[in-house]
Amino acid sequence: MNELKGNTEEKLKDSTAQEKIRSILSVLPDSPGCYQYFDEKGTIIYVGKAKNLKKRVISYFNKEHDNLKTRVLVKQIRDIKYIVVDTEEDALLLENNLIKQYRPRYNVLLKDDKTYPSIVVKNEYFPRVFQTRNIVKDGSQYYGPYPSVYTAKIMLQMLKELYPIRTCRLPLTPETITQGKYKLCLEYHIKRCKAPCEGLQDHAEYMKNISEIKEILKGNSSIVSKILYDEMQTLAAEMRFEEAQKIKEKYEAIENYRAKSTVVTPSFTNIDVFSLSENEKSAFINYLHIGNGAIVQAYTFEYRKKLDEAKEELLAMGIIEMRDRFKSTAKEIIVPFEPDMSLEGITIVIPQRGDKKKLLDLSILNVKQYKLDKLKQAEKLNPEQRNTRLLKEIQSQLHLEKLPVHIECFDNSNIQGSDAVAACVVFKMGKPSKQDYRKYIIKTVEGPDDYASMREVVYRRYKRLLEESAPLPDLIITDGGKGQMEIVRQVVEDELELNIPIAGLAKDKKHRTSEFLFGFPPEPIGLVQQSPLFHLLEQMQNEVHRFAIRFHKDKRSKRQTASELDAIKGIGDKTKTLLLREFKSVKRIREATLEELSRVAGKAKAQLLQANLNK
């Protein structure tokens, strides 16, 4: 009995975990980043990088893996967390840092535990510039790290070709140079060094080169690009194409190069970064901790608002919570705005530019992604929540007094005035309410006059609703521009004396939704293309157009198949079909004898046909 109970509890636990995993997978972003898998104890068991987080992570769960270890890993996953970054290279660097920090069971760990290479400008009288993996706090300046040794070597090679800087390890000082302790080396003779060791290059000129090198290493590679481009053009003009091709390869490498990562900056040590994003009910706070030039902790959490707390107060609560939870001793905190707090001995920085601003931007990127994921998860569990949010957005954009729960849209359809019809479709809570759709045959308008047709239909619609005391819409949307809106306004406000907001949806030359108009005179309301609100309005416009076109086609088709038989009382559709199938046309039915007609329709109907058709 106990064993059965234990198995049941285990199955329930697995079912809950699978549901949680499915929920996370459904909202993963199509962005580069790093993902972390956790087991049931909350321990990180795997860290990976991805150019597209959604595709990469889902691939673990939607196929059978040949590798046994991968299958075992997937069975142990109980939670997934991720950090979005700007580029694939940033994901590579971040993955490296996270693996070293947590040493997950299923990740391959390098035995020598090497870090990514950097380029250092040594703190020396005549500074050397070289590649290194070791960060030494001796006043030297480090740039990078670089995602590959090749990229660092390319940059160093470029710098050495552009600037004749020393590569020797001689301890150059004014005294040793004056004493003449050193001799010219090969680097001088091949013109790759100007021999500062012999005093042949003065300190000012050398430091000017170092200053330019630092600017290039900071990411201002336009200087290098221009020099290489000019050299490439010169060689090509001199018909030295092989040399020009080599320069071109270097030029393209520099153009595609990213000078340094936004994820890791070697000069940053023991810094906390916080950012905040909020909605009506919750505040979301992201926390990054930078230690030894790398992100070593990243966490986002949610506060459920109880009162109308200010964002400064919420951020202060988040800072205290995270610093206590992770036992942070950072003396510098980077934030987007001043929190409602003061901490003794702590410097609060609100960066406007530079490397610290890039770190803050990364934190903001993650907190916004977390908020979006939470919203998507909630809307998947409760689709009505999404529609309510979109309706609230319409209410806010148009400054409506109440939520537009009931929306009605109108459209006309005719071909050069023939078979003129109109349609009204109804949306309730953002969904089509097809039982409330209405079709209208235009009765009072002759010729192709869309404005007059719209006037007739809108008047008939709301005059009828008033007479029946039926609910009126919260918003009317016309499929057309300013002219259509004005016609609707004249009917609704001037003639029927109703107070219903009126909007218009205009299309571009390619017949696609392009503008949302409101107000009198109408003004465009800014819509983000491909946003959920844009798609809802586009759906409304397409739906009323489809409904009107369908009704117009049906009416035109019916008119084209009409005949004299339709006017004869006593001859129904079934009899008409039998007669036309037998005689092929009304003319032949008219010419048929009473006996021939009787065989198809019966004697009584045959006499009725002859009496009416022969008038």
Predicted confidence at residue 219, as pLDDT, reads 64
Average pLDDT on 577-601 reads 83
pLDDT-derived band at 293 (thresholds 50, 70, 90) equals: low
Taking the model in full, what pTM does it have? 0.48
Q: Is the pLDDT of residue 147 over 80?
A: no
Q: Would you place residue 112 in the very low, low, confident or very high pLDDT band (cuts 50, 70, 90)?
A: very low
540-544, 560-564, 596-600, 607-611, range with the lowest pLDDT: 560-564
Same domain? For 96 and 136 the reply is: no
Which pLDDT does position 306 carry in this prediction? 62
Q: Are strands 79-84 and 33-38 parallel, antiparallel or unpaired?
A: antiparallel
What CATH number is given to the structural domain containing 469?
A: 3.30.420.340
- Residues with Cβ within 8 Å of 459's Cβ and at least 6 positions away in sequence, in order, are 491, 495, 496
Residue 110 lies in a domain: no
Mean residue pLDDT of the chain comes to: 81
Predicted pLDDT of residue 110: 46
State the average pLDDT over residues 22-51.
89
- Per the structure, the count of domains in the chain is 5
Please check the confidence at residue 418 and state whether its pLDDT lies above 90: no
Residues 159 and 32 in one domain: no
Examine the domain organization and report whether 143 and 277 are in the same domain: no
pLDDT digits (tens, 9 = 90+) for 50-62: 889 999 899 888 8
Q: How many CB atoms lie within 10 A of CB 492?
A: 21
Closest CA to 481 of 452, 460, 455, 451: 451
Whether pLDDT at 543 is above 70: yes
Do 141 and 276 lie in a common domain? no
Q: Are 314 and 285 in contact (CB under 8 A)?
A: yes
pLDDT at position 606 over 90: no
pLDDT at 370: 86
Domain identity same for 87 and 173: no
* Mean pLDDT, range 269-290, rounded to an integer: 87
252 domain residue, yes or no: no
Same domain, 79 and 138: no
Per-residue tokens: 500? 């219903």
CA distances from 294 to 73, 146, 265, 267, 268 (A): 27, 13, 7, 10, 8
Q: Is 580 helix (H, G, I), strand (E, B) or coil?
A: helix
Q: 295-312: b or e for each residue (b if 16 or more CB lie within 10 Å)?
A: bbbbbbeebeeeeeeeee
CA dihedral 599, 603, 605, 606 (to 10 degrees): 70
Cα–Cα distances in angstroms (integers) from residue 49 to residues 149, 209, 324, 591, in the given order: 19, 38, 29, 84
Q: Are residues 352 and 484 in the same domain?
A: no
Average pLDDT for 117-136 = 89
In this structure, the answer to whether residues 554 and 571 fall within a common structural domain is no
**Residue 416: is its pLDDT beyond 60?**
no
The answer to whether position 261 is within a domain reads no
**Using one digit for the tens of pLDDT, what is the confidence trace for 511-540?**
677 778 888 888 888 776 767 778 888 888
Do 551 and 570 reside in the same domain of the chain? no
- Could you tell me which residues come within 8 angstroms of residue 411 by beta carbon, excluding any fewer than 6 positions away? 422, 423, 478, 479, 480, 544, 545, 547, 548
CATH assignment of the domain containing 285: 3.30.420
Flag whether pLDDT at 36 surpasses 90.
yes
146-182 b/e with 16+ CB inside 10 Å = b? bbeeebbebbbebbbebbbbbeeebebeeeebeeeeb
Higher pLDDT, 397 or 557: 397
Domain ends where: 162, 186, 221? 221
Q: Is the per-residue pLDDT at 369 higher than 50?
A: yes
Task: Give the mean model confidence (pLDDT) for residues 174-180.
Answer: 87
Average pLDDT over residues 542-560: 76
Which band of pLDDT confidence, cut at 50, 70 and 90, is reported for residue 411? confident
- Boundary (domain end) residue, out of 379, 409, 444: 379
- pLDDT on residue 398: 86
Q: Is the pLDDT at 111 greater than 50, yes or no? A: no
Residue 294 covered by a domain? yes
How crowded is residue 599: how many other Cβ atoms within 10 Å of its Cβ? 12
Q: What is the pLDDT of residue 108?
A: 61
Whether residues 442 and 346 fall in one domain: no
Q: Is the pLDDT of residue 295 over 70?
A: yes
The helix (H) or strand (E) run that includes residue 160 is helix 149-162
Closest CA relative to residue 78, chosen from 53, 61, 54: 61
- Tell me the C-alpha distance between 154 and 117, whole Å: 12
Judged against a pLDDT cut of 60, whether residue 562 lies above it is answered with no
Same domain for 68 and 167?
Answer: no
User: Any idea which of 130-144, 323-337, 514-528, 546-560 has the lowest mean pLDDT?
Assistant: 546-560
The pLDDT of residue 335: 93
34 and 138 part of one domain: no
Higher pLDDT, 291 or 339: 339
pLDDT tier at 121 (50, 70, 90 boundaries)? very high
Which CATH number does the domain housing residue 581 bear?
1.10.150.20
Of residues 78, 94, 97, the one with CA closest to residue 86: 94
Sign of CA dihedral 171, 176, 178, 182: negative
Range of the domain at 149: 118-221
Specify the amino acid at residue 371.
K
For the segment 458-486, the average pLDDT, to the nearest whole number, is: 87
Query: Residue range 402-430: average pLDDT?
Result: 81
- Report in angstroms the alpha-carbon separations of 148 from 42, 50, 251, 358: 32, 17, 18, 21
User: Which of 59-68, 118-127, 553-562 has the highest average model confidence (pLDDT)?
Assistant: 118-127
Q: Is residue 207 part of a domain?
A: yes
Looking at residue 473, the DSSP 8-state letter turns out to be: P
Cα–Cα distance list, 451 to 125, 228, 455 (Å): 84, 65, 6
Residue ending a domain, choose from 515, 531, 558? 558
